[in-house]
């Protein structure tokens, strides 16, 4: 009972162990699903799994079994989920679409990062695609955190992921075979550093690309006076998407751009 009193009343916490990045936030089969980076055996960041919980109201959460465990390809890094309502994969049945989980596998000894796929038909247990990885990687080459979304411009589906210093875009018609279509590099006026966990969405016809940044101290001079320099920030860009790549609005580059930069930081 004492331990429960120390838990936040609103914010989600796992039953035990380490947690960080939320992954695959999705509404599926009448429930909100929360996946998250999780090490059930340690209180510090170590061997990543995907933890899992569901809710009817986004306040009260039910803990579910771990969704994804490490395997021979690597430990389980961040990613996203997509509900295959059109049954493109053929894994759904009887009006129950498959829930697809896209994630990065990280090989600890070689730092090889690959993009992988798993699926579920009950929202609880996941089966890893036997042909993983769907996008191979190279040793000592960061490539992580895939977000998959419907490509409403060219058709099919797009994936955005990070390569440490840039953002890459891929496209697929079947969720299995992916072809690179473009990359977005940070403009000079932006905060530079290691990029993680990209997220792109469209609102009122405008595309927004959000990036989680690990910023070195050499970039602190770009922070506006009203912002406290910090190594971990969220940075976003508004712009357009042609179905292959994202393009930042030219209007964001104005003078020293300190006001614009302040508006783009979280």
* Residues marked as catalytic: 21
* Residue 254 tokens, joined: 């104005």
Omega before 127 cis (within 30°)? Answer: no
**CA–CA distances in Å: residue 209 to residues 75, 97, 167, 214, 244:** 27, 28, 10, 16, 14
Q: Name 171's bridge partners.
A: 158, 179
- Report the alpha-carbon distance of residue 94 to residue 10 in Å, rounded: 36
SS3 call for 261: helix
Which of 52, 8, 48, 49 is closest to 26 using CA atoms?
Answer: 52
Q: Residue 219, SS3?
A: helix
């Amino acid at each position: 009972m004492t331990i429960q009193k120390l838990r936040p009343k609103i914010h989600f916490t796992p039953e035990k162990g380490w947690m960080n990045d939320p992954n695959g936030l999705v509404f599926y089969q009448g429930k909100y699903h929360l996946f998250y980076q999780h090490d059930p055996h340690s209180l510090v960041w170590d061997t990543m799994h995907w933890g899992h919980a569901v809710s009817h109201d986004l306040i009260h959460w039910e803990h579910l079994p771990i969704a994804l465990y490490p395997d021979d390809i690597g430990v389980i890094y961040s990613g996203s989920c997509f509900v295959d309502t059109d049954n493109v994969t053929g894994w759904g049945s009887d009006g129950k679409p498959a829930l697809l989980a896209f994630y990065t596998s990280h090989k600890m000894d070689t730092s090889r990062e690959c993009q992988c796929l798993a699926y579920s038909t009950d929202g609880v247990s996941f089966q890893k695609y036997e042909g993983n990885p769907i996008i191979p990687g190279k040793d000592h080459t960061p490539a992580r955190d895939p977000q998959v979304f419907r490509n409403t411009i060219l058709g099919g589906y797009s994936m955005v992921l990070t390569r440490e210093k840039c953002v890459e875009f891929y496209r697929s018609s079947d969720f299995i075979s992916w072809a690179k279509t473009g990359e977005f590099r940070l403009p000079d006026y932006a905060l530079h550093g290691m990029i993680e966990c990209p997220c792109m969405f469209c609102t009122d016809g405008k595309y927004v690309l959000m990036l989680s940044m690990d910023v070195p101290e050499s970039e602190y001079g770009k922070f506006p006076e009203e912002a406290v320099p910090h190594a971990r920030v969220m940075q976003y860009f508004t712009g357009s998407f042609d179905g292959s790549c994202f393009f930042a609005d030219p209007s964001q580059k104005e003078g020293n751009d300190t006001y614009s930069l302040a508006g783009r930081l979280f």
